Amino acid sequence: MSNTLTTSAGAPIADDNNSISAGERGPLTFDNFRMFEKLAHFNRERIPERVVHARGTGAYGTFRLSTDLSDWTIADFLQQAGKDTEVFVRFSTVGGGQDSSDYARDPRGFAIKFYTREGNFDLVGNNTPVFFLNDPSKFPDFIHSQKKNPRTNVPDPAASFEYWANHPQSLHQMTILMSDRGIPLSYRHMHGFGSHTFSFWNKEGERFWVKWHLKTQQGIKNVRSEDAANYPAFGAQQDLVESIDAGDYPKWKVQLQILSEEQARNLSVNPFDLTKVWPHDEAPLVDIGMLELSRNVENYFAETEQAAFAPSNLVPGIGASPDKMLQARLFAYQDAHRYRVGANVNSLPVNAPKCPVSHYQRDGAFAVNQGSEVHFFPNDRINQGAPVPVPSVAEPPMPLERDAWVKPHSQDNQDYYSQAGALFRLMRDDQKQQLVDNIAGGLCQASASVQQRMLVQFGKADARYAEMVKAALDS
C-alpha cells in the first residue's frame, strides 16, 4: 500500500504534477503554495554551491546591435544599430557539482547578463532550444532523478530513464541530450538559446512574443561518449580562458524569432510550451547582432562563482510570458541567490548594474552603506530627490484566455512526439547510431517496465527510432 504524499506540514497533496494556472495556456497564479514550497525547499538543498549549474566558467564581452528593434520594443539596448552593451556570460554544466567533469553528457547553461542603461537584463538559457519539462512543479523531481544515487553516491542512469519513462514531455530534450550534441567540445563550439518565450512591447503598447537564439561562429564541435574520458575534467574552462587570453575571441550571432499576438494564437504548437520549438517556417530567424567575449575574470570566486543570473531581471520593453517554467523561475532564481549569496546579491560588482540604482531596500547580509535617507514609499521627499515609479515604462496588460479556470491543468494529452521524431529524421545515419547507442548505454540499466515504456515513446516519435533503440538494447 502506498503512502499519502503530503506537504512538509503533513497536508495531503491532491495533484503533484500540474501547477495551478489561469487556463490551459495561462499564467500561474499566486495560490500555488505547494509548488512554492517545493521550489523554496529545493533552492536550499545544497550549501553553498548551486544545486544546478554548479560547475561554471565566465567571461566579459560586448553585444553589438546590428538591427534597430524599435518597431518591436522600447528596450534601450535594442535601439539604434551599432550600439554596444557590456555583457557577462556564464557557461555551465547542469547536473553535476563542482567536482564533475566539463565533458559530462549534460545540457550546458548559457546565461548572459546585459548591463544596459536601464538596468540588467539576464537571458538565462541553455545550449538547447527546449527543456525536459513544461511544468515547474516537476523540476525538483527531475533534478533528483539526474543526481547521484542517494545510497551509492554514483551516477544512476536507471533513475534518469525511470523519470523520463513517466514524463513523455521530456522526449524531445532527451533526444537532443543523447545525440552527438550531448557533449560539446568546448563552450565556444555550441549554440545558445533563451529557450523560453519572452515578450517585447513597443512605444505604441503593441506586444510581441520572442525567442532568443545565439549561433556559434566557431562551428559546432562535439565529443563522442567513448572519447570523453580522454579529456581533462576542466578542459572546457581551460579552453575558454586560454582562447580569450590569446586574443581568439569567441563570437555568437544573435537572432530572434518574433511573433505578433495574433501569429502566436495561430502557431501550430503552444507558443508557451518549453518542450516545443517554434517552426522556423512560421517564425523565421531575424539577425539582430553579434556577441563577443573578450575579457576573462580576475577572480573566479568573486566574479564567476558569485555571479547571479535571474529571469526576473528584466528591463523596460522586455517581459515574461505565460510560459509556466519561466513564471516559476521569476520567483525561484532570485530566491536561490538570496539564500546562497545574500539579500544584497545585486550589490556585488559582477551583478551590479552599470546605471544609477535607487530603491528602498534596507539592511540584510553584506549590506553596503545605504545612507540615512527615507526608506519607505510613498513619502514626502519626492521634491528632494527620493525615487519614484515611472509609469511610462509599464508593461501593457496581458489578457487571459476566455473562460480560464484556475486549477491544475493536465498536459498529459499533448503531442510530445512529433518534434522528437522530426529531429530524429534530420539526423544522418551515423548520428542516429550515436543517439541510440547512448540511449541504450543507460536504458539497459533500467527495469524492463521502464525500457518498454521508453520504447513506446520512441515508437510514437518514429518507428525506426524505436527499432534502432531495441536493437541496441538487444545487442
Q: What are phi and psi of 466, to 5 degrees?
A: -65, -40
Q: Is 347 exposed, middle or buried (0-12, 13-18, 19+ CB in 10 A)?
A: middle
475 residues of the chain, pLDDT tens digit each: 678 888 777 778 888 889 999 999 999 998 898 898 888 888 887 657 888 998 999 999 999 999 999 999 999 999 999 999 999 999 999 998 888 999 999 999 999 999 999 999 999 999 999 999 999 999 999 999 999 999 999 999 999 999 999 999 999 999 999 999 999 999 999 999 999 999 999 999 999 999 999 999 999 999 999 999 999 999 999 999 999 999 999 999 999 999 999 999 999 999 999 999 999 999 999 999 999 999 999 999 899 999 999 999 999 999 999 999 999 999 999 999 999 988 888 889 999 999 888 777 777 776 776 677 877 778 878 788 788 888 888 899 888 888 889 899 888 889 999 999 999 999 999 999 999 999 999 999 999 999 999 999 999 999 999 999 999 999 8
Q: Of these residues, 32, 43, 120, 126, which one is catalytic? A: 126
Helix, strand, coil: what percent of the chain each, to 5? 30, 20, 50
Alpha carbon distance 159, 165 (integer Å): 10
379 is catalytic: no
Location of C-alpha cell 532564481:
333
Q: What is the pLDDT of residue 1?
A: 60
Q: How far is CA 77 from CA 54, 64, 69, 315, 346, in A?
A: 30, 9, 9, 10, 20
Alpha carbon distance 95, 110 (integer Å): 14
Report the interhelical angle of 463-474 vs 448-461 (nearest 10°): 150
Please, are residues 179 and 427 in contact by the beta-carbon 8 Å criterion? yes
Q: What is the model's pTM?
A: 0.91
* All CATH 2.40.180.10 domain ranges in the chain, comma separated: 20-176+183-356
Location of C-alpha cell 513506446:
456
The three-state secondary structure class of 313 is coil
- Topology of domain 20-176+183-356 in CATH is Catalase HpII,  Chain A, domain 1 (2.40.180)
Alpha carbon distance 100, 307 (integer Å): 20
53 is catalytic: yes
Chain CA centroid to CA 131, Å: 8
Q: What is the pLDDT of residue 41?
A: 83
Please, are residues 435 and 175 in contact by the beta-carbon 8 Å criterion? yes
Please, are residues 165 and 453 in contact by the beta-carbon 8 Å criterion? yes
Q: Of these residues, 32, 43, 53, 120, which one is catalytic? A: 53
Residue closest to 308 by CA, chosen among 259, 272, 350? 350
DSSP state of 420: H
Please, are residues 90 and 58 in contact by the beta-carbon 8 Å criterion? yes
Please, are residues 315 and 112 in contact by the beta-carbon 8 Å criterion? no
Q: Which helix (H) or strand (E) holds 124?
A: strand 119-126
